[in-house]
């Protein structure tokens, strides 16, 4: 029978530092699944289209940076072991999205947002605070956040040029995964946030998307 390893607070802080570096340093995240874009054909895009798509993918990349930080913060303060494991597992899955978006941004001749460290820190703090309040609130925050992400992905899918099948394949797979994360969080006992709270979260998300589109 395999014994579960128990980490000390110092061990967990070191693991969090390692996760932060893997999230923020270029090409540090290693996806467990190949990018859905690989099997899609190259398409001809003009300069304006390329710039716009790069901006959209940069927003999504920063969104995944925030998701990593949120899950890592929640895993650090989660009270129940199974909730902590769920957060860590979700963070692992989000690494795929992070890597796919970065790959596509580079293909488009652009780079991730310079604001990523700031958004990582803010999201980590929010996640840790939610975990300190209760696991139910923490899981509810995951569900509400993923709902916001799905809405943004729907908007971006509508804005993509029809010929850009590579970006579309990435965003469609991300959308499927994020919906599953939201559903799993609620099934695990997550709190359903009221509309005013979700509205406040949408305003904060608007700040992120507006700034990272160009930066």
Residue-level length of the chain: 215
Q: What is the Cα–Cα distance from 200 to 77, expressed in whole angstroms?
A: 23
Residue 34's CB is within 10 A of a number of other CB atoms, namely 11
Number of Cα atoms under 13 Å in the Cβ half of residue 110? 26
First to last CA, the chain: 50
Annotated binding site: 64, 94, 97, 146, 178, 181
Q: What is the Cα–Cα distance from 161 to 51, expressed in whole angstroms?
A: 12
Element (H, E) at 1: none
Annotated binding site for Fe cation: 64, 94, 97, 146, 178, 181
Would you state the torsion angle of the CA atoms of residues 214, 101, 59, 142, taken in this order, to the nearest 10 degrees? -160
**All residues at 6 or more sequence positions from 163 whose CB lies less than 8 Å from its CB, including other chains:** 43, 44, 45
Q: List b or e across 151-181, with b for residues whose CB sees 16 or more CB atoms inside 10 angstroms.
A: ebbeebeeebbeebbbbbbbbebbbebbeeb
* Phi–psi pair at 161, nearest 5 degrees: -60, 145
């Amino acid at each position: 029978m395999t014994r579960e390893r128990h980490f000390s607070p110092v061990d967990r802080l070191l693991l969090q530092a390692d996760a932060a570096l893997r999230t923020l340093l270029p090409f540090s995240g290693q996806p467990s699944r190949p990018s859905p874009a690989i099997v899609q054909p190259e398409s001809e895009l003009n300069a304006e289209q390329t710039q716009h798509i790069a901006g959209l993918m940069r927003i999504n990349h920063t969104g995944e940076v925030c998701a990593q930080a949120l899950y890592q913060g929640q895993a650090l303060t989660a009270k129940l072991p199974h909730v902590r494991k769920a957060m860590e597992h979700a963070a692992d899955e989000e690494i795929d999205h992070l890597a796919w978006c970065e790959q596509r941004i580079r293909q488009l001749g652009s780079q991730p947002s310079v604001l990523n460290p700031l958004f990582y820190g803010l999201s980590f703090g929010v996640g840790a605070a939610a975990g300190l309040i209760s696991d139910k609130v923490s899981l509810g925050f995951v569900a509400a956040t993923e709902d916001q992400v799905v809405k943004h992905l729907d908007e971006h899918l509508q804005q993509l040029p029809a010929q850009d099948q590579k970006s579309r394949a990435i965003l469609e797979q991300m959308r499927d995964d994020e919906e599953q994360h939201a559903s799993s969080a609620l099934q695990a006992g997550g709190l359903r946030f009221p509309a005013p709270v979700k509205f406040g979260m949408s305003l904060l998300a608007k700040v992120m998307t507006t700034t990272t589109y160009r930066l």
